[in-house]
Amino acid sequence: MSTDNGPDEMTKKCWDEKYYQPEIERMDQEDLKLLQLERLKKVAEHCYRNIPFYRQSFDAVGFNPETIESLADLQKMPFTLKQDMRDAYPFDLFAVDVRDASRIHASSGTTGNATVVGYTTSDLENWGDCFARAIALVGGDSTSIMQVSYGYGLFTGGLGAHEGGNRIGATIIPMSSGNTKRQVQMLKDMGSDILACTPSYAMLIADTAVEMGYDPATDFKVSAAILGAEPCSEGMRNEIERKLGVTVVDIYGLSEVMGPGVSCECRYQDGLHVAEDHFLIEIVDPDTLEPVDEGEWGEVVFTTLTKECSPLIRYRTRDISRIIPGECACGRTHRRMDRISGRSDDMLIIRGVNVFPSQIQQVIADFSEVTSYYQIILSSKGPLDHVALMVETVPEFSFDEVRRIEDLQKRIMAELKSNLQISVEVRIVEPKSIERSEGKAKRVIDLRKAGE
Ligand code: DLL
């Protein structure tokens, strides 16, 4: 974007931007579609030949992968659900022998069998490439120092970021999550340029740094943060950017499909470019499962195009997003998905109104008296659900005057009512009352099932 006075600030920023794989990231859309078609044929045949689940589900709908002629044929293939992955525990959805896999990751499995995914050496390289694109687009390269404060282990955050750092040749500080004071000290002493962790943890690291007497925006070298694994409102992003003195880019992914790097924002911060050479994205209506029009919101569905060990066909993520129409000024041709507005299974129904916690987060972000820490507590009061929203004030807010607290409470309630048409009890709490997270924040506490 240029004006008569020359390029605007954002364009200037993007001119400095580096591409990790420019020939792929800026590939002509038509060539990209040809590449996708070739890969779709390959992956469908790979699934049919090597995974009994897919052989059965393709046969059940009379689909023969050899008949694929265009990307539209994807619509003929059946969906894969999280439950299918659970039922396949541990290795029934692997297309290669587990001993030929280089690594295994798994989801926590708190609500059923864990979902297990495997990676061959080539899968790990592709994953690393996807994350490396994110490192390059925040200006990183082989001279960068990146602190990885996502958890290492079966969770894909830590090792996914690590893989990306390795591919681009950066110096990696593999902190994992936890021990926050040490995180702060290392961030400062190692002179890291890039921080990779969840938005909640970036906030906690920033606040802890201030408590330790630092001003991270000026005392630390870190200039960019690659944050993901959970929703982050614009208000929270701005707060992290200001406190740490960084540019925040949002990175998305899920362990079933790969891990972090399935899509990532560029510096325009206007949608996340999907790694379309590795994944086919569809947005479907969660009720009818029909594709929605471009630009409409719906459930995100992914088909992996290059995975050898754990390929997936039309995996229903439950995440809600949309394709942002139009081209991005950064030069990348891969289409952009919008930031996740919620998960269909996170949706709260408050007295008949559907709301995502992220919408509540957006409303409170407009109040300067409160921080971005919040928690929603669901309980039963007689036959009805009771919803309480705990919001934490900034340190400068005085709790001495009851009238000020009540006034703030009323204003937040009124804003929630007018924006989201919901009536909730707002509880204003003092700084640090809400539990901090070193990984994904727990925003909703559901006491209904416990009968409390
Ligand atoms: O959270 C992978 C990841 C690690 C992504 C580090 C980004 C950074 P899972 O634990 O399998 O994998 O959780 C996947 O987290 O379906 C979304 O609901 C949510 N999620 C992931 N990234 C974002 C994001 C990792 N950028 C689930 N914004 C997904 C909002 C996100 N939600």
3-state secondary structure 252-274: EEECCCCEEEEEEECCCCCCEEE
Query: Is residue 230 within 6 Å of ligand 1 at its C-beta?
Result: yes
CA of 144 relative to ligand 1 center, distance in Å? 24
Domains of the chain in start order, with CATH, are 7-29+118-343 (3.40.50.12780), 348-446 (3.30.300.30)
User: Would you give per-residue pLDDT tens digits along the chain (452 residues)?
Assistant: 444 444 455 544 544 568 999 999 999 999 999 999 999 999 999 999 999 999 999 999 999 999 999 999 999 999 999 999 999 999 999 999 999 999 999 987 666 789 999 999 999 999 999 999 999 999 999 999 999 999 999 999 999 999 999 999 999 999 999 999 999 999 999 999 999 999 999 999 999 999 999 999 999 999 999 999 999 999 899 999 999 999 999 999 999 999 999 999 998 999 999 999 999 999 999 999 999 999 999 999 999 999 999 999 999 999 999 999 999 999 999 999 999 998 888 888 887 888 888 889 889 999 999 998 999 998 887 777 788 999 999 999 998 889 999 999 999 999 999 999 988 999 999 999 999 999 999 999 989 865 44
Return d(Cα 441, Cα 207) in angstroms, integer: 15
The closest alpha carbon to 334, from 274, 419, 250, belongs to 274
pTM above 0.85, yes or no: yes
- Candidates 197, 234, 254, 345: which one to mutate for ligand 1, based on the most atoms within 8 Å of Cβ? 254
- Candidates 340, 358, 438, 440: which one to mutate for ligand 1, based on the most atoms within 8 Å of Cβ? 340
DSSP secondary structure, 284-348, as one string? E-TTT-PBPPTT--EEEEEEESS-SSS--SSEEEEEEE-EEPS--TTS--S-EEPPP-EETTT-E
Return d(Cα 236, Cα 231) in angstroms, integer: 10
Conformation bin of residue 322: beta by default, left when phi > 0, alpha when psi is -120 to 50: beta
CA of 253 relative to ligand 1 center, distance in Å? 5
139: Cβ contacts below 8 Å, ≥ 6 apart:
16, 17, 18, 193, 223, 224
299 phi and psi angles, rounded to 5 deg: -85, 140
Closest atom of ligand 1 relative to the 227 alpha carbon: 8
Query: Is residue 231 within 6 Å of ligand 1 at its C-beta?
Result: yes
Query: Is residue 250 within 6 Å of ligand 1 at its C-beta?
Result: yes
Closest atom of ligand 1 relative to the 255 alpha carbon: 11
The DSSP output letter for 102 is S
- The confidence score (pLDDT) of residue 349 equals 83
CA of 41 relative to ligand 1 center, distance in Å? 28
Query: Is residue 319 within 6 Å of ligand 1 at its C-beta?
Result: yes
Closest atom of ligand 1 relative to the 108 alpha carbon: 10
374: Cβ contacts below 8 Å, ≥ 6 apart:
360, 361, 364, 389, 390, 391, 392, 434, 443
Query: Is residue 107 within 6 Å of ligand 1 at its C-beta?
Result: yes
Return d(Cα 86, Cα 100) in angstroms, integer: 21
**Cβ 143 vs Cβ 155: under 8 Å:** no
Query: Is residue 253 within 6 Å of ligand 1 at its C-beta?
Result: yes
- The confidence score (pLDDT) of residue 111 equals 67
- Candidates 116, 230, 315, 442: which one to mutate for ligand 1, based on the most atoms within 8 Å of Cβ? 230
CA of 344 relative to ligand 1 center, distance in Å? 14
Return d(Cα 355, Cα 352) in angstroms, integer: 10
Q: Record the tokens describing residue 146, joined without a space.
A: 């990146």
Query: Is residue 343 within 6 Å of ligand 1 at its C-beta?
Result: yes
The label of the residue with tokens 């994992």 reads 176
- Residue whose CA is closest, atom 1 of ligand 1? 229
